[in-house]
Homo-oligomer: A and B are copies of this chain.
Amino acid sequence: MAEPQTRTRIQKKNRTTILDAALDVFSQFGFRGSTLDQIAKAAGLSKPNLLYYFPSKEAIHVELLSCLMDTWLDPLRDLDPNGEPRAEILAYMRRKLEMSRNYPRESRLFANEILQGAPRIMGAIEGELKDLTDEKAAVIQGWMDAGKIAPSHPYHLLFSIWSLTQHYADFDVQVRAVLGNEGDDPFPAAEQYLETLFTKLLTV
């Protein structure tokens, strides 16, 4: 996207500081619900200083999203067509769940964007995301045709992995409220449950 630029030490530090603060704010309030003042305050910088590093509010958001999309697709990229089918899919589910645990802000930023109709990211959805999904769905279809896993709908199988794992980041507040605030980490039980679920689904 952005052509590589020579950046000073200060530039690098402040840009990452700003992006981190913006991730906090955007992931909670969405694009239109977030203000530059909020981001500036969260970053510990002045508002004009933000605009010294980024040309506009939208530029910050776009930068965040385009950085995100890459790492977002990594777990799926690592699905190995030559691996053992059921283990590969289970491992993919685990990687996605791990992302929900370790990067909940990124998950919420993404969810916010999709909820709003993906106005600033539709290109990547119809491009990178769709291409990769098509490719991996074909792999899974191949496994099903070969009788290595139980037949079902490859695309909806992927959707189910996305929704089930991202749920624990996006709806974290609800999950914890329902489970009761016993300080429990819901993730271990979630992983165990999802392992059972997908093992049963995939077993012929």
Q: List residues of A whose CB falls within 8 A of some B CB.
A: 28-34, 108, 111-112, 114-118, 122, 125-126, 129-130, 133, 150, 152-153, 155-157, 159-160, 162-164, 166-168, 170-171, 173-175, 177-180, 189-190, 192-194, 196-197, 200-201, 203
Instruction: List chain B residues, Cβ under 8 A from A31.
Output: 33
Q: Which of B112, B125, B200 contacts A115, CB < 8 Å?
A: B112
Instruction: List chain B residues, Cβ under 8 A from A157.
Output: 193
Residue pair B152, A159 in contact (C-beta under 8 Å) = no
> Per DSSP, are chain A's interface residues mostly helix, strand or loop, or mixed?
helix
Residue pair B122, A193 in contact (C-beta under 8 Å) = no
Residue pair A160, B153 in contact (C-beta under 8 Å) = no
Q: Which of B114, B164, B201 contacts A163, CB < 8 Å?
A: B164
Q: Which of B34, B125, B190, B192 contacts A174, CB < 8 Å?
A: B125
With A31-B33, A33-B31 as known contacts, state yes or no: A197 contacts B152, CB within 8 Å.
yes
Instruction: List chain B residues, Cβ under 8 A from A173.
Output: 114, 117-118, 122, 125
Minimal beta-carbon separation of A126 from chain B (angstroms): 5
Residue pair A197, B189 in contact (C-beta under 8 Å) = no
Q: Which of B152, B166, B167, B180 contacts A196, CB < 8 Å?
A: B152
